[in-house]
Structure 1
Amino acid sequence: MRILITGGAGFIASHLTERFVIDGHHVAVLDNLTHGKRNRIPPQADFFQLDLASPEVDKVFRSFRPEVVYHHAAQIDVTASLKQPLDDARTNILGTLALLIHCRNHGVRKIVYASSAAVYGTPIYLPVDELHPIKPLSLYGVSKHSPEHYIEAFAALYGMDYTILRYANVYGPRQDPLGEGGVISIFLDKIANGFPPVIYGDGLQTRDFIYVKDIVAANVAALTNGSKEILNVSCNQATSILVLLNRLESATGAKLTPIYKPARPGDILHSVLNNNAAIKSLGWLPRFSISEGLKDTLSG
């Protein structure tokens, strides 16, 4: 199959690119390399260094003729979305809209969109399922949610199929502790450089950590399943920051003494996503426990 992956030089999508190449698909990557790295793209994949808004993207669609598009290219920094909301919207909302127009114009069969748990905001109940109210706390959450509506509208208007995947807290090899800012990558960077990890609050706050290989498996399943659905991709398991630190000690052999700082305004106390719909619709299951994922991350 001919698969185009936007943001394919980034953390998550580079793993997905590798997987589809291994599976024998003809893969092309579209990435402006603002945050992605060229050396993450397998030589078997075609590569186009372009911004989503570039008119040259039309030529990519004409020449490559993708059947399915995986859309991971995004502005992913929550702080940046607050400081530069117009840039955030240009990339995440207008960039997606431009991509959808190309998909419509060139007969793309399906788009798989990487959305985020950030669309939900502060949970009213746990675990959060797909029927939970959408009340994002950040502008990033707004800009990740808006494309979901555009995708649904394009599907209804032009007969395009889609699957929207709302990710929990993803971690794994290649995650940038400065860019993506996942707490696991930040902690591992601190440990590697001999600095104590910093905990904001009491460390009892919880997150739903999912390993990148489980995210990739869900995306692969969405190639043929999950038609016109919005699905949480998670482990459906809450892990506190203190328990995470304990798992990191076991995985690294380091004795970790964290520095505690006041909780940050706007931080969600507890977050865990219900993944039952994804399990049913995609025929998928997360395979990696937090301990297994950390071990694999360190070996990778």
Structure 2
Amino acid sequence: MKSVLRSPGIQAPRHGAVPNTTTRTRQNMHIAIIGGSGLIGSETARQLVAAGHTVTLLSRRPAADLPDLPWKACEIADAAVRDTLASIRPAAVIHLAALLQFSCDQQPAEAIRINVDGTVNVLEACRAAGIRRVVFGSSMAVYGRRTDRMSETDPIPDDVGLYGQTKRLCEILGARYRALYGMEFVALRYAGVIGPQELHSAGMAMVRQQIRSTASGKDVTIDDASGRETVHLTHVSDAAAATVAAALHPGPAHTVYNVAGPIDNYMTLVDYHAAVRALVPHAGAVHWAGSARGAGPLDLTRLQTDLGVSPAVTVPEALRRDLRTLGWL
């Protein structure tokens, strides 16, 4: 019989999402975050440390805003991942490293190498080191071009782009490792994550960053969207709270969870720019010069009832926080 680690959970910090207050707690668990210098990774690290846990970051570059945390340089598909996890042996691994949407379309071979081969490398490293809880950063892109309400139990359509296909394949791989080896694999399908950190990879997150940058007073031209695209926006503090819960929950009932903000955060990109201007009337204009996929809202019932997380940060509040952090409000 396979033995399965059941890690005691802990109440996540209240940065927006409301955690399950009935969850048992244990201090000072060691969590490794692969892709820990990114938007979600760095905020997840902050929330874990604030809750009394030890965090090691694994990424290509250190997190500039987390200089005091241990950091290990590694490329997701390289043997260094296995060597590092074998040496530090954390209680759980949060895997957030990925090639993003537009880059996947432009570099399909890299999309497979980084997103798929890299994830297999992480799963194998965790299996070899006896690490039983892996939280994987998936995406709402697995739902394809749908614009209706999307639930984890819905069938996956055929019109999923390459980025979404790589994420879906990783979900399948994780479920297989769970069946074969007793690994506790949890995939989080994040939707429209926004936050103050500057991004460098091409994708819809970069488009949203461009829109927000009009708060500086400058006009922007967006080549990759028409403004009519819909998205269910999620502040990074809510995304991180869900990630913390998935890592520390004593026994998640499912392998896949939707993660998004409150339903009022479902809007078009034009609406998002209007929210910027509501806070900063002198914000610049957006010139739309392209098109992209819109998407429907995510059903959060499973996240709320099983992991006990209820995202609460609205777009106006998210922008207010982030624009203040950036010095534009």
For structure 1, the 5+ residue unaligned runs are none
* Residues 200/8 of structure 1: CA separation in 2 closer, same or farther (3 Å cut): closer
Aligned to 1:14: 42
Aligned counterpart for 1:32 among listed residues 54, 60, 64: 60
Shift of 1:146: 0.8
**Secondary structure at the counterpart of residue 131 of structure 2:** coil
Shift of 1:199: 8.3
Query: What is the total number of aligned residue pairs between the two structures?
Result: 291
What is the TM-score of this pair, normalised by structure 1?
A: 0.89
Q: What is the match of residue 287 of structure 1? A: 312
Residues 162 and 227 in structure 1, CA contact (< 8 A), matched pair in contact too: no
Residue in structure 1 matched with residue 91 of structure 2 by the alignment = 67
Match of 2:324 in 1: 299
Q: Amino acid of the residue matched to residue 126 of structure 2?
A: C
Moved more, 182-191 or 208-217: 182-191
- State the one-letter code of the partner of 1:273: L
Identity %: 28
Q: Which runs of 5+ in 2 are unaligned?
A: 1-28
Distance of 2:43 and 2:225 partners within structure 1? 33
- For residues 173-184 of structure 1, the aligned pairs below 5 Å read 173-176=196-199, 179-182=202-205, 183-184=207-208
Measured in 2, the distance between the counterparts of 1:202 and 1:80 equals 19
Map of 1:54 onto structure 2? 78
**Structure 2 residue corresponding to 1:85, chosen from 108, 115, 132:** 108
Paired residue type of 2:303: A
User: Residues 227 and 107 from structure 1, CA distance in 2 versus in 1: closer, same or farther, beyond 3 angstroms?
Assistant: farther
The one of 129, 132, 156 aligned to 2:154: 132
Query: What is the aligned-residue RMSD (CA, Å)?
Result: 2.1
Within a 5 Å distance, the mapping from 1:121-270 to structure 2 comes to 121-123=144-146, 126-135=148-157, 136-176=159-199, 179-182=202-205, 183-192=207-216, 194-196=218-220, 198=222, 203-222=227-246, 223-224=248-249, 226-235=252-261, 236-237=263-264, 238-261=266-289, 263-264=290-291, 267-270=292-295
Query: Could you say what secondary structure the match of 1:73 adopts?
Result: coil
Matched residue, 1:111? 134
Q: 1:57 to 1:17 in 2, by over 3 A?
A: same
SS in 2 for 1:27: strand
Correspondence for 2:8 = none
Q: Contact conserved, 2:210 with 2:220, CA < 8 A, in 1?
A: no
- AA of the residue aligned to 1:115: S
Once residues 83 and 269 of structure 2 are traced to their aligned partners in structure 1, the CA distance between those partners, rounded to angstroms, is 46
Looking at both structures, which has the greater relative contact order when contacts are Cα pairs under 8 Å and sequence separation is at least 6?
A: 2
TM-score, normalising length: structure 2: 0.82
Deviation at residue 42 of structure 1 after TM alignment:
4.0
Structure 1: how far apart are the matches of 2:57 and 2:213? 28
